[in-house]
Chains A and B, each alone.
Chain A
């Protein structure tokens, strides 16, 4: 990034002659704007895609009126939210109430600093990347609790309390699952974690050894819990708590909560892709030149594609499973996920002693097993659908 700034200072017509410091501050704002644009677009598109997928899964159509088959519904919804009155309840704690959505949003947006998009595309490859990520991601707990408390509504309060209990508890197994990868790689930097993996599935951390495979599933489930997604969406369980911590919000502030939620899906997917699915590693090498710097475009596309697959699975899980009860959620965390991930960590350590250089055979076997499970699953889905279709037609 430093060299981009330098090259801009040297020959970028308008920016020529500006001091390097000023230019880097400007550069930070530009990057932030790009990230904001990207994540806004992603959150918006995810919202509409989620509604479309949900429609398909539930034998209905979904939004289909606004412009291209309803694809721009998210813009309409966003504009509508801007127009709405920003209602603050009389008895609310006004400053807290007003600031809470921004804190939730900031917690989400801060994570984007260390998320890689490609081999060279990353805002800042911090050497404590993953630690920073989990630290800043848990920032939104504060926002949710503030929203729940400041609303002065009993439903909101219960939602806020549930959110804190849930997110704080699930930090532990999430971190432990991530720690297993960190141990294997020996680095906290996001780019180093990706660089340690290969392009092929049997070179990923997911299939490195049985313990990372378990860690992958633990991380996936606990990230769902951290992002308040079904089956762990108890802070805003709409059939119990009306709408949980955001019950009293309207207009833009309400939008910010949902924006953060959908943007969080991308953050979750990117974390999983980075840690376990080989990130931007690609078997082909195709680059484009941007500002005299080559960007490996296949890696960017592959990273995004993997993230989208995870995003789809998250959406799919949401529209399939019922939600857990609050005590069951805590039991799942403290009685199952934490012991399993601790044991898993131990397993990784033993594995690293026994196979210091990893075992290709084991990786191949795990890849094969996962592929078989996937194929069996596809067969089941198609088979069940055929039965359904036969009944519909009346065969």
Chain B
């Protein structure tokens, strides 16, 4: 304990009976997915307070952004939320496109929607599985992993990588989708629908699961708004806030889908919201696949957008344009106008915002990320107080805290 106080933890210890105890969850603990650390003050098994400590995965992504060109930074966004990298790729690309003031072709927009929703399913299905695993239902976790593998197969077929997808480029996409894309996605959607139904039978009606989740980590509507919580956590608290509806991007306004909300604001409500969102994502993907237009996947502007690789190898002008876009230095690269932009997209965890300040050079003057995990994580102490130590993993998994996103 002296050691903890030495490191700056101040606990109010008036404990004549000696029943209080300080425990250290993490940075390496089975329930912390990633390297998180929680210092918990306990009375018996009851939590008096928790102090989350972040910084074990500090990477300096924002600082890297000031030294990378816009297209280079897309590879960095993969590493922020490594559960759903595609959403990050798309979020950043949209931010830069807003800065440039361009609108990409319809086909690219729809493909982005499909990939974003597939990625959202991959994230939610893992999160639900983890929630089950932290409560001891290990089988559900592995079932969800099977479905996630199938989704990752699609990502591999489309982007060439399972995890570090880096699929988007400023003004479009790196590649078009493969020919059998629709069949592949249709097949996976079917198994995902059965998997969701199986999770329902295993967890939703399970008395033990309900008992472990209902009334746990209740975040009231007002608190959720005050803390700036977004995503499924906010919607579970009864606020119907979804960027896809409120500020549609990438032609989300063309799709019919519902924003599921619950009023309870507890772990179980978050689970239900995630389950329903997966169904809505399936709905969006089905609409998108049926209305996938033909055409270009990149915005046409030789000075801003990378030319097709075939042209680069066979055409001199394209080669020059390629060099002009990718070469470092103040005279080369994409030159967005001087100014700043804040653009946000709805990623599985909530609102992912990119604030880019441009001084007209090839890399941003300042890049700031609004990570949903960090802001959602703030209320952890508030909601976990008074619960038992067994609830810590159950709460943490519904927050879906991604360490890579906490410490940019």
Cα of A394 to Cα of B193 in the assembled complex, Å: 12
CB distance from A3 to the nearest CB of B (A): 51
CA distance A155 to B407 in the complex (A): 28
| Residues of A with C-beta under 8 A to B393 | 239-240
Q: Chain B binding site: helix, strand, loop or mixed by DSSP?
A: helix
Given contacts A240-B392, A242-B29, A391-B191, contact A323 B135 (CB under 8 A): yes
Residue A287 CB within 8 A of the other chain: no
Which residue, of B143, B193, B194, has the highest number of chain A Cβ atoms within 10 A? B194
Inter-chain contacts of A57 with B (CB < 8 A): 139
Which residues of the other chain, B, contact A241 by a CB distance below 8 angstroms?
Answer: 389
Given contacts A158-B45, A238-B30, A388-B194, contact A325 B138 (CB under 8 A): no
Separation of A391 and B23 alpha carbons in the complex (Å) = 47
Interface residues of B in 374-408 (CB under 8 A from A): 388-393
* A392 / chain B contacts, CB cutoff of 8 Å: 191
CA–CA, A158 and B42, complex, Å? 11
Shortest distance from the beta carbon of B398 to any chain A beta carbon, whole Å: 14
Q: Does A320 interact with chain B (Cβ within 8 Å)?
A: yes
A248: chain B residues within 8 A (beta carbon): none
A233 and B136: CB pair below 8 A? yes
Which secondary structure dominates chain A's binding surface? loop
B138 contacts A324, C-beta separation under 8 Å: no
Tell yes or no: B85 within 8 A of A by CB.
no
B208 in contact (CB, < 8 A): yes
Decide if B133 touches A239 in the complex (CB within 8 Å).
yes
A276 to B15, CA, bound (A): 51
Q: Chain A interface residue count: which class?
A: 20 to 34
Q: Which residue of A lies closest to B143 (CB)?
A: A59
Contact, CB under 8 Å: B30 / A322? no
**Distance between B145 CB and nearest chain A CB, rounded to angstroms:** 8
CA distance A348 to B364 in the complex (A): 80
8 Å CB contacts to A: which residues of B160-205? 187, 190-191, 193-194, 198, 201-203
State whether B137 touches A327 (Cβ < 8 A).
Answer: no
In the assembled complex, how far is the CB of residue A44 from the closest CB belonging to chain B, in whole angstroms?
Answer: 22
Question: Which 10 pairs, one residue from A and one from B, show the smallest C-beta to C-beta distance?
Answer: A323-B136, A322-B135, A58-B142, A322-B137, A391-B194, A322-B136, A239-B134, A325-B390, A239-B393, A59-B146
Complex A-B: 22 CB contacts under 8 Å: A54-B139, A155-B23, A158-B389, A233-B136, A239-B135, A240-B31, A240-B393, A241-B389, A242-B29, A242-B30, A319-B138, A320-B202, A321-B137, A321-B208, A323-B136, A323-B208, A324-B208, A325-B212, A384-B201, A391-B190, A391-B193, A392-B191
